[in-house]
A = this chain, B = another copy of it.
């Protein structure tokens, strides 16, 4: 059995990442959700450490050069980032960690932690995506073309991922991701030397 994994769920908007991740967390006991840090103000009902780790701008900016984030981004005037420490601690405890993130963020994570498992979720139906692109029919051909090209560009990032799951049916998509996590733990990796060593020890009379 290999060590636990960082499982990165990503894909274009509208793919249903959120629904898939929610169900996955309910079904897999040893899967923990990575919680982002942010400098924006908590909204009503949001709990520190549950929805986000709410941090001051001063603290966040201090952690960037300390390489404390797998990825971070500044959106308008607020920072958002994935703290490394929690992920690494949980993996060391033997828990898999789930990170739901957009494509840009996932590619940053891959740069810093290529041993993660990168899963691309494709939208449930092309019809929906098409409707979103074509819009209400009141737009210019140029605007539609632009959205079309941007959707295509997003989808083409799939080739930088390890796995691709089409979210046609949530239960099936969740089952596929569970299979991917189990299979990854059966992969023969460099640390196979440990298996052989263990056998050697156990077998020595």
A contact residues vs B (CB 8 Å cutoff): 1, 119-120, 122, 126, 129-130, 133-134, 144, 148, 151-152, 155-156, 158-159, 161-166, 175-176, 178-180, 182-184, 186-188, 192, 195-196, 199-200, 202-205
Contact = CB atoms under 8 A, between A and B. Distances in A.
B183 A152 contact: no
B162 A203 contact: no
Nearest to A2: B164
B163 A199 contact: no
Given A179-B179, A179-B182, A200-B152, A158 B205 contact: no
A164 B186 contact: yes
Contacts of A192: 158-159, 164
A-B residue pairs, 8 tightest by C-beta: A183-B183, A179-B182, A179-B179, A126-B202, A180-B183, A163-B186, A179-B183, A159-B192
